[in-house]
């Protein structure tokens, strides 16, 4: 086994085309040597959501440029790589296929081993890349298409403790932005508005808090928001800047409170399986939200748990997380052949029954 592993990673499962190089010397912390992300927000902005066909074409156009830039930024060539890792699902199938085809082309022409990576595993293992946390840990994965609490025991060993039964929180942020005429992606724009607003003026529901488990629901929030918006418009003829900020603040407070309370319960469920001082990590695009991060920090401090979340740029979609998850799989002896398939659905915990409606609506993972 080589002492130092250098892995090229590719990501194209939603609306970010990304390539990165990650290196780990034996006994040392992994390093991100380069991470290139080409976003597609402008291409989709006129449509109010990600258009799969446009996304797939843009990935196909940009992937090789991304790889070239990632290698150049790392000051390396394909000859310096030990393997090529690629997101093989879940996600928009055309995009995932673009990445898998590109990685297969690289593997076939260079002889490099090919490693298929689950995009969600990429998010879930990121705190090991950025913060060096050890197994096991409790992961809150919150993104545009997913929301789940996972007990992470190894690179391919995940148990789901609970998750959303309908929308993912990122989807709720994006819909809120759309309903209020704010730019996409909704998360950062709703957060910016919320910072100027009064979270107490509008009272949003806190769904499923009457149940003892750590399942969540976010679809009712957008209906509540739509009703409140329509009521203000009916009464005053339109929304003022302050109305919009107060709606965002009320919405965000509901998401924060719900995630905080369900995290308390998830810690209890985790401790029942893994006694001792727990480490809790958050990842995925929504973990970039500063109010959510602050609330999770407080909950963990109260529960005597260590809390960690990757830096913002590695919370949202990127290829460093794919290269790193590939590196862990590679070290564990995993190799894929040129028959690697792109999978639109690929749950991390294969044994856990699907929650009603979970992950069906979100294009993102």
> Is there binding between residue 191 and ligand KG4 (CB under 6 A)?
yes
* Contacted entry of ligand KG4, Zn ion, none for residue 149, CB cut-off 5 to 8 Å set by kind: none
Would you give the binding string for ligand KG4 spanning residues 5-34, x where CB under 6 A is met? ---------x--------------------
What is the rounded distance in angstroms from the CA atom of residue 91 to the CA atom of residue 70? 22
* Contacted entry of ligand KG4, Zn ion, none for residue 188, CB cut-off 5 to 8 Å set by kind: ligand KG4
Query: Which stretch, 97-105, 143-151, 235-243, 298-306, contacts ligand KG4 (CB under 6 A)?
Result: 143-151
Smallest distance, Zn ion to C-beta of residue 272, A: 29
> Is there binding between residue 12 and Zn ion (CB under 5 A)?
no
* Contacting residue, 81, 266, 288, 323, with ligand KG4 by CB under 6 A: 288
- In order of 12, 17, 51, 87, 216, the CA distances from 41 in angstroms are 14, 11, 11, 20, 28
| 27 Cβ contact list (under 8 Å, min separation 6) | none
Question: Which tokens is 191 given?
Answer: 């957060």
DSSP state letters, 207-250:
TTTTSSSS-B--HHHHHHHHHHHHHHHHHHSS--HHHHHHHHHH
What is the rounded distance in angstroms from the CA atom of residue 12 to the CA atom of residue 303? 37
DSSP 8-class letter at 183 = P
> Is there binding between residue 126 and Zn ion (CB under 5 A)?
no
CA 144 to mean position of chain CA atoms: 7
Query: Which stretch, 149-157, 202-210, 285-293, 329-337, contacts ligand KG4 (CB under 6 A)?
Result: 285-293
What is the rounded distance in angstroms from the CA atom of residue 214 to the CA atom of residue 268? 10
Query: Which stretch, 62-70, 159-167, 187-195, 204-212, contacts ligand KG4 (CB under 6 A)?
Result: 187-195
Report the interface residues with ligand KG4, using CB under 6 A: 14, 143-145, 170, 173-174, 185-188, 191, 284-286, 288-289, 316-317, 364-365
């Amino acid at each position: 086994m080589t002492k130092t592993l250098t892995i090229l990673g590719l990501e194209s499962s939603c609306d970010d085309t990304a390539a990165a190089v990650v290196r780990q010397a034996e006994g040392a912390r992994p390093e991100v040597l380069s991470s290139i992300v080409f976003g597609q927000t402008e291409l989709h902005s006129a449509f109010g959501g990600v258009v799969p066909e446009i996304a797939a074409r843009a990935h196909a156009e940009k992937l090789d440029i991304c790889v070239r830039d990632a290698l150049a930024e790392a000051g390396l060539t394909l000859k310096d790589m030990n393997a090529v890792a690629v997101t093989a699902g879940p996600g928009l199938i055309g995009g995932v296929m673009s990445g898998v085809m590109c990685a297969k082309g690289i593997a076939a022409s260079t002889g490099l081993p090919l490693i298929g990576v689950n995009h969600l595993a990429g998010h879930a293992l990121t705190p090991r890349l950025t913060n060096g946390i050890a197994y096991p840990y409790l992961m809150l994965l919150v993104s545009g298409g997913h929301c789940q609490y996972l007990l992470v025991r190894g690179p391919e060993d995940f148990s789901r403790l609970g998750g959303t039964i309908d929308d993912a929180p990122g989807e709720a942020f994006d819909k809120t932005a759309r309903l209020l005429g704010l730019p996409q992606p909704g998360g950062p724009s709703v957060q910016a508005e919320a910072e100027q607003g009064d979270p107490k003026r509008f009272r949003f529901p806190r769904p499923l808090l009457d149940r003892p488990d750590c399942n969540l629901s976010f679809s009712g929030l957008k209906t509540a928001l739509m009703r409140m918006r329509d009521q203000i418009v009916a009464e005053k003829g339109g929304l003022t800047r302050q109305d919009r900020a107060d709606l965002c603040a009320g919405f965000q407070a509901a998401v924060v409170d719900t995630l905080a309370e369900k995290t308390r319960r998830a810690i209890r469920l985790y401790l029942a399986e893994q006694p001792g001082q727990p480490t809790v990590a958050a990842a995925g695009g929504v973990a970039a939200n500063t109010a959510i991060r602050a609330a999770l920090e407080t909950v963990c401090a109260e529960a005597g748990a260590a809390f960690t979340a990757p830096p913002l740029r590695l919370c949202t979609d990127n290829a460093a997380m794919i290269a790193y998850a590939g590196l862990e799989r590679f070290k564990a002896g995993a190799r894929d052949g040129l028959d690697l398939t792109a999978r639109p659905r690929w749950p991390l915990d294969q044994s856990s029954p699907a929650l009603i409606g979970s992950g069906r609506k979100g294009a993102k993972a």
